C-alpha cells in the first residue's frame, strides 16, 4: 500500500509522528540484535562456556558492522531529510545510493582482513590460544552475516525516511525469527556447533537483506537508487558526499564501535583476573548491552528525521517538542531495563549458562551491578542524538568518545585496583554516569 503521505515530518503531531517511527524502529533494531543474541544462547547451551566465551571474543565484528551501517545510515538520513525538506529529491536519492555502496565496500574489506588474519584478530579482541580454534571457526562462517547486516541497517534508516518503517521492521523481524529456528536446528539436531550458529546468522541476515533489495527494485515511494558510477568525477563526488555523511554519522559509529572497545578491554581485564570463566560471565553482559543500545538508539534514530527535517525548515518549536518526548521515553525505557537487569539476573544467567557452569556464580554477582548503566546510557544516546540531528557533529562526536573511549578504559583499569572484582562490573555504569553529568552541565551552560 502506498503510504508516502502517512508521515508528514513538518506538520503531524510530534507525539503521534514519534510513535509511528519509534515502535517499528525499535522492533526492527532489536530483532537485528537477536541475530547475535540467539547465537550466544544456543552456543552457551549447546557448545559450553568456552564456546560462549569464543563468540564473545568474535562479537566485536558485529559492532564494527553495525557501526559502519550506522555511520552511513544515520549520516545519510540527516542529509537526505534536509534535502527532502528543501525539495531536492535527486540529491537525497544520490546520497542514499552512495551510502549503500560505500558501506558495503568498506565492510567487505574489513571481513577479508579478519579472515586472512584470524589468529591476530583473536588476540586483538582479547582471546586466548585455548579459544582460538572456536573463534576462527565462528568468524569464518559468520562473515557473510556482518556484510548483509550493513544492507539491513542502512535500509532501516532509508525505508523509515521513505515512509515505510513497518517494512523495515518486517525485514528485520523475519531475519531474527528465522535465525532462532535455524540456530536450534543447526546447533542441536544437526550438531554443527559453532559453525551451525554462525551459518544460521548468515543465512538469516541474507534473507533480511533480500527484503531491502526487493523494496528498492521497484516498490519505494520517493527514494530511488541510482546505478553506481565509477568515473573520476563520480568517485570525487561520492567521496565528498560520503565524507559529509561520515561527519554527521560519526557519533552513531562511535556509539556502536565503543561497545567493541568495552568488550575488548573488558575481555582483557576479566581474563587477567577471572580467566575464561570470567570472560564467559562477562559475555552475558556483552550480549545484553547491544540490546540496551538498541532501545536508546531507537529513540534517538526515530527522532532524527523529525529533528533534521524541522531543522532544515527552521522550526525550533517542533524540535523542542521532539526533545521533550524523547527524554521522557528515554527515562521510562532506561529505568525499565535497569529494573529487569537488576532483578532478572538469575533467569538471564540460566538462559545463557545453566547452573552447572562455573561462570554462572560470577554472572549472578556481577550482572545486577552492570545493569545500573541502562538509565545513564539511554539518556546519553538521546541527548547525543539530538546534537547529531542538528549537524552539531563536533560536540556529539566528543560526547561519544568521552563515554566510549576516554572514560571506559580508565574505569576498567582503575576501579578493580580500588574495589576488587566488583570494579570490573561497575566500570561501564561509572563511565556512563560521568558522561551524563558532563553532557548536562555543558548543555545548561550553553543555553
Q: From the centroid of its chain, how far is CA 96?
A: 20
Query: Is there a contact between 33 and 288 (Cβ–Cβ < 8 Å)?
Result: no
State the SS3 of 117-168.
CHHHHHHHCCCCCCCHHHHHHHHHHHHHHHHHHHHHHHHHHHHHHCCCHHHH
C-alpha–C-alpha distance, residues 377 and 363, integer Å: 21
Q: Are 378 and 337 in contact (CB under 8 A)?
A: yes
Average predicted confidence (pLDDT) for the chain: 88
Backbone angles phi, psi at 420, to 5 degrees: 80, -155
CB 128 within 8 A of CB 115: no
Task: Please check whether residue 379 is in contact with residue 297, taking contact to mean a CB–CB distance below 8 angstroms.
Answer: no
Instruction: Report the 10 Å Cβ neighbour count for 181.
Output: 12
| Phi and psi angles of residue 179, each rounded to the nearest 5 degrees, phi first | -65, -40
Give pLDDT, residue 5.
41
Position 172 scores a pLDDT of 82
Q: Annotate 295-306 with b (16+ C-beta within 10 A) or e (fewer).
A: bbbbbbbbbbbb
Asked if residue 375 lies in contact with residue 335, where contact means CB atoms within 8 angstroms, the answer is yes
Q: How many CB atoms sit inside 10 A of residue 39's CB?
A: 29
Q: Is 271 within 8 Å of 263 (Cβ atoms)?
A: no
**Alpha-carbon distance 237 to 40, whole Å?**
42
Confidence (pLDDT) at 2 = 43
Cell numbers at 422, concatenated: 566488583
In this structure, how many other beta carbons lie within 10 angstroms of the beta carbon of residue 140? 15
> CA 55, CA 58: separation in Å to the nearest integer?
5
Q: What's the CA gap between 171 and 206, in Å, rounded? A: 10
3-state secondary structure (DSSP) of residue 46: helix
pTM of the full structure: 0.73
Rounded to whole angstroms, the Cα distance separating 396 from 384 reads: 5
Q: For position 6, what pLDDT does the model report?
A: 57
Residue from 245, 225, 220, 223 nearest 167 by CA: 220
Three-class secondary structure assignment of 378-433:
HHHHHHHHHHHHCCCHHHHHHHHHHHHHHCHHHHHHHHHHHHCCHHHHHHHHHHHH
**Contact (Cβ atoms closer than 8 angstroms) between residue 22 and residue 302:** yes
Q: Which residue has the cell 560536540?
A: 395
pLDDT tens by residue, the chain, 447 residues: 344 445 778 888 899 889 888 888 888 777 767 766 777 788 888 888 888 888 888 888 888 888 899 889 888 988 998 888 888 998 999 999 999 999 999 999 999 999 999 999 999 888 888 999 999 999 999 999 999 999 998 988 888 788 888 888 888 888 888 989 999 999 999 999 999 999 999 999 999 999 899 999 888 888 988 887 778 888 898 999 999 899 888 887 887 778 888 888 998 999 999 988 888 899 889 878 878 888 888 898 889 888 988 888 888 899 999 999 999 999 999 999 999 999 999 999 988 887 878 889 999 999 999 999 999 999 999 999 888 888 787 888 899 899 888 999 999 999 999 999 999 999 999 999 999 999 999 988 876
The three grid cell numbers given for residue 315, joined into one nine-digit string:
522550526
Nine-digit cell string for 283: 559475555
On the CB side of 446, CA atoms within 13 Å amount to 9
Taking alpha carbons only, the member of 112, 117, 33 closest to residue 70 is: 33
Amino acid at each position: 500500500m502506498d503510504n508516502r503521505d502517512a508521515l508528514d515530518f513538518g506538520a503531524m503531531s510530534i507525539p503521534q509522528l514519534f510513535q509511528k517511527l519509534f515502535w517499528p524502529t525499535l522492533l526492527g533494531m532489536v530483532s537485528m540484535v537477536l541475530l547475535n543474541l540467539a547465537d550466544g544462547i544456543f552456543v552457551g547451551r549447546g557448545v559450553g562456556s568456552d564456546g560462549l566465551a569464543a563468540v564473545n571474543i568474535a562479537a566485536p565484528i558485529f559492532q564494527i558492522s553495525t557501526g559502519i551501517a550506522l555511520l552511513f545510515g544515520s549520516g545519510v538520513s540527516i542529509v537526505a531529510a534536509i534535502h527532502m525538506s528543501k525539495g531536492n529529491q535527486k540529491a537525497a536519492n544520490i546520497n542514499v545510493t552512495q551510502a549503500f555502496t560505500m558501506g558495503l565496500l568498506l565492510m567487505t574489506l574489513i571481513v577479508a582482513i579478519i579472515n586472512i588474519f584470524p589468529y591476530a584478530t583473536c588476540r586483538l579482541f582479547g582471546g586466548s590460544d585455548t579459544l582460538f580454534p572456536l573463534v576462527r571457526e565462528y568468524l569464518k562462517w559468520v562473515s557473510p552475516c556482518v556484510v548483509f547486516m550493513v544492507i539491513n541497517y542502512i535500509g532501516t534508516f532509508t525505508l523509515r525516511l521513505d515512509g515505510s518503517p513497518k517494512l523495515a521492521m518486517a525485514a528485520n523481524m523475519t531475519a531474527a525469527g528465522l535465525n532462532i529456528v535455524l540456530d536450534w536446528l543447526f546447533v542441536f539436531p544437526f550438531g554443527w556447533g559453532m559453525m551451525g550458529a554462525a551459518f544460521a546468522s548468515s543465512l538469516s541476515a541474507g534473507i533480511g537483506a533480500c527484503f531491502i533489495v526487493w523494496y528498492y527494485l521497484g516498490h519505494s515511494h520517493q527514494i530511488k537508487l541510482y546505478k553506481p558510477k565509477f568515473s573520476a568525477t563520480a568517485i570525487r563526488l561520492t567521496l565528498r558526499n560520503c565524507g559529509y555523511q561520515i561527519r554527521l554519522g560519526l557519533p552513531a559509529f562511535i556509539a556502536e564501535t565503543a561497545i567493541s572497545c568495552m568488550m575488548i578491554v573488558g575481555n582483557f581485564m576479566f581474563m587477567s583476573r577471572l580467566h575464561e570463566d570470567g570472560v564467559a560471565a562477562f559475555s552475558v553482559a556483552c550480549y545484553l548491552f547491544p540490546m540496551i543500545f538498541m532501545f536508546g538508539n531507537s529513540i534517538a534514530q526515530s527522532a532524527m528525521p523529525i529533528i533534521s527535517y524541522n531543522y532544515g525548515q527552521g522550526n525550533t518549536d517542533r524540535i523542542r517538542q521532539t526533545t521533550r518526548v524523547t527524554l521522557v521515553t528515554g527515562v521510562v525505557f532506561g529505568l525499565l531495563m535497569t529494573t529487569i537487569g537488576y532483578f532478572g539476573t538469575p533467569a538471564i544467567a540460566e538462559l545463557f549458562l545453566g547452573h552447572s557452569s562455573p561462570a554462572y556464580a560470577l554472572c549472578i554477582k556481577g550482572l545486577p551491578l552492570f545493569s545500573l548503566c541502562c538509565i545513564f546510557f539511554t539518556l546519553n544516546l538521546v541527548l547525543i542524538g539530538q546534537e547529531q540531528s542538528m549537524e552539531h557533529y563536533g560536540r556529539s562526536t566528543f560526547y561519544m568518545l568521552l563515554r566510549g573511549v576516554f572514560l571506559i578504559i580508565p574505569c576498567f583499569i582503575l576501579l578493580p585496583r580500588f574495589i576488587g572484582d566488583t570494579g570490573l562490573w561497575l566500570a561501564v555504569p561509572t563511565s556512563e554516569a560521568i558522561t551524563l553529568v558532563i553532557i548536562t552541565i555543558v548543555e545548561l551552560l550553553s543555553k
